[in-house]
Structure 1
């Protein structure tokens, strides 16, 4: 049986503990770490975890582990992942996995010198419907891709930002683009493949934060698909939506934090009713979530393959975010591959600074 530990026992750690328990005898949660000793102890008691450690160094020194689940606030993700890689331990890190492209490249370099691997939690990639969509597209069932959209329209009031690390570039790395919409447009990217260029805007409309509270982007993909991406924390009717208009069908999903097949609809183009039949030939009640990704992670470890989502996959999504901010803050079109070490948006998503920064 494989052995796992969770670092950071805040709210998202519960999703990881549930996924580990659902994996049955494939993996065991043997230890947790948290800077808040009381919270760690309470979490360990709730989930029957035998040991609590005060810090990651002690955990890595005293436990034989296959994977560490990093569930801490964003600023600490890369330092903790680097510690795990130095100990040759695999890492499953929550989003956002890093605060910049520079940090992602630091992880990539460290991974080359380790037998451990880093995977990012982008759990919506692993719902049965998303897997089916990518397969049908690759098999040519859906035809060419033309138009798409990704909307993450959520609501976070002022009280949400009372947590000190929220709403800052230094600790969170960005606003809803970085920390909320990332799941939806990562799924979009996993379906449509390489993006080519971005035209974007970002604004701080209502929340007293450093980062944006809304962003919008028009994206052109390498295959010619055009897409819109909206990320908001100001939307009282909360929803997460994706729409793909292919040659032979429109495929849509609307949910909030996780979907089942019931949340997806497929509308055939005239003369292509067979596409709908193909879609409904497979049915699942499974909710997209951490359990699906953990199962795929363990499958990869068992087969000796790199666990999904790899750092290369992650870099594509993080480069998309950096390009969105760069386009929004400079008023220019940003192309894939344009943001290198000489760009101010390489070391920080804030880049040259948000246009509202001097208004605070």
Structure 2
């Protein structure tokens, strides 16, 4: 029975708790920590946990904890993760992995030195549309990928950034590019690999209580000539997201949609119904996931701890995602076309460099400690939309 601790009792912690509770025969949540102990206590009472409540996570470093979920604001991810890794615990970190590439490297070094695993939450991988899309692309049926498109559309009200740690480069680390599009950027890298160049723009058009962007648009160039684009936003009503790949032979996406074309004699398109049927059959024959989202990833992490197998999303993946995000911020802040990979000498490698060089749109003049309503939305359901578009 693995002993689990939850560090941070904010809204996202519920997804971790419900995930662990699905595997009560394999693990037990023995501690919940938050700098506001009443939030931790409420979490314990809500889910009927038999768990210790603490205010300072350091109290747990001397206890036998097998796995820790880090659900705090990003600016303390590295400190908490490294301390628990050094204390002998495995670590599962909420997105983003950390607030700088330097911190990601320090986390990964601590994991390697202590022989422990690090996984970074990328729950969108653990959905049928994403997992199946990955397999379809790997099959080569769609052909060489010519263009990739990420639409990470979210909507947040003005008061969203009133919370004390949100809307600041120092504590949140960035806006929707970092904290919302991170999942689709992870999936893009998983499926298409790292681009070689990034050119980006960002703005804050609706949240004058935040230093950070509320929309960014990035253009990507790959070494093989393919292009991509990523839109990250908290100003889009409807909260729809999609990941689209235009292949030489067919267009495929999550939510699942399939179109294939062949050329008429005059160059205009007509449907390639034979290829569409072939790809659709391949897609339909792929296995369905047993567990989804956070629960699916928690199952993957528990299995890795139990068996020594590799996790699907590791610390290197988490770092790669943050690297592309930092390249977007660098390009949008400086106007430069940014080459990847970013080097340790780059100003956007460290938190201090980001604070100094990233564009500050507004300055927070006031804040609140907590919201009374901690319920959250997770965007339009990929699973539902996959069936409607199937």
Same structural fold, with TM-score higher than 0.5 when normalized by the shorter chain: yes
Deviation, 1:132, is 2.2
1:325 shift after superposition: 0.8
Name the CA distance, whole Å, in 2 between partners of 1:252 and 1:138.
13
1:51: how far off? 2.5
Per the TM alignment, residue 306 of structure 1 is displaced from its structure 2 partner at its CA by: 3.6
Secondary structure of the residue aligned to 2:240 is: strand
SS in 2 for 1:92: strand
- How far the C-alpha of 1:90 sits from its partner, in A, is 0.5
CA distance in 2, matches of 1:92, 1:247: 38
Aligned position for 1:250:
251
For 2:358, the equivalent position in structure 1 comes to 353
**Alpha carbons 2:101, 2:350 under 8 Å: kept:** yes
Task: Find the counterpart in structure 1 of residue 175 from structure 2.
Answer: 175
SS at match of 1:234: coil
Q: 2:303 aligns with which of 299, 306, 324?
A: 299
- The Cα of 1:116 is off from its aligned counterpart by 2.0
Question: Contact 1:194/1:221 (CA < 8 Å) preserved in 2?
Answer: yes
* Alpha-carbon offset, residue 244 of structure 1: 1.1
Aligned to 1:260: none
Tell me, what secondary structure is at the counterpart of 1:148? strand
Aligned to 1:267: 259
* Residue aligning to 1:224: 225
* Structure 1 pair 287–294 and aligned structure 2 pair: CA distance change class (3 A): closer
Is 2:141 the partner of 1:120?
A: no
| Structure 2 portions without partners, runs of 5+ | 262-271, 366-390
Query: Conserved in 1, the CA contact under 8 Å of 2:154 and 2:239?
Result: yes
1:130 aligns to what? 130
Aligned twin of 2:30: 30
Residue 147 of structure 2: aligned partner: 147
Counterpart check, 1:82 vs 2:78: no
CA contact (8 A) 1:95 1:122 kept: yes
Q: Determine the C-alpha separation between the residues in 1 that align with 2:337 and 2:251.
A: 28
Q: Whole-Å Cα distance in 1 between the matches of residues 158 and 291 of structure 2?
A: 30
SS of 1:155's equivalent in the other structure is: coil
Cα distance change of structure 1 residues 158 and 355 upon mapping to structure 2, 3 Å threshold? closer
C-alpha separation in 2, matches of 1:117 and 1:281: 32
The superposition leaves residues 306-327 of structure 1 with CA deviations (integer Å, 9 ceiling, x where unpaired) of: 4332111111111101111111
Q: CA offset at residue 288 of structure 1?
A: 4.1
Task: Give the Cα–Cα distance (whole angstroms) in 1 for the partners of residues 36 and 304 of structure 2.
Answer: 33
Aligned position for 1:280: 284
Q: Which piece of structure 1 moves more, 39-48 or 161-170?
A: 39-48
Displacement after TM superposition at 1:143 (Å): 2.0
User: Which aligned segments of 4 or more residues in structure 1 are displaced greater than 6 angstroms?
Assistant: none
Say if 1:82 and 1:107, in contact at 8 Å, map to a contact too.
yes
Farther-moved stretch of structure 1 (84-93 vs 16-25) = 16-25
CA-based RMSD of the aligned residues comes to 2.1
Shift of 1:177: 0.6
Q: Distance in 2 between matches of 1:22 and 1:51?
A: 16
- Structure 2 equivalent of residue 157 of structure 1: 157
> What is the Cα deviation at residue 231 of structure 1?
0.6
Q: CA deviation at 1:283?
A: 6.2
* Structure 2 contact 41–53 (Cα < 8 Å) conserved: no
Task: Tell me if the contact between 2:127 and 2:289 (Cα under 8 Å) persists in the aligned partners.
Answer: no
Displacement of 1:237 in angstroms is: 2.7
Deviations 1:52-100 (A, max 9, x none): 24222222323x2221001111111111101101101000010112111
For residues 24 and 34 of structure 2, the distance between their equivalents in structure 1, rounded to whole angstroms, comes to 24
Asked if structure 2 preserves the Cα contact closer than 8 Å seen for 1:128 and 1:284, the reply is yes
Change over 3 Å in CA distance of 1:2–1:356 after alignment to 2:
closer
TM-score normalised by the chain length of structure 2? 0.84
For residues 42 and 166 of structure 1, what CA distance do their matches in structure 2 show? Answer: 22
Flag structure 1 segments of 5+ consecutive residues without an equivalent: 254-262
Alignment length (residue pairs): 349
Aligned to 1:235: 236
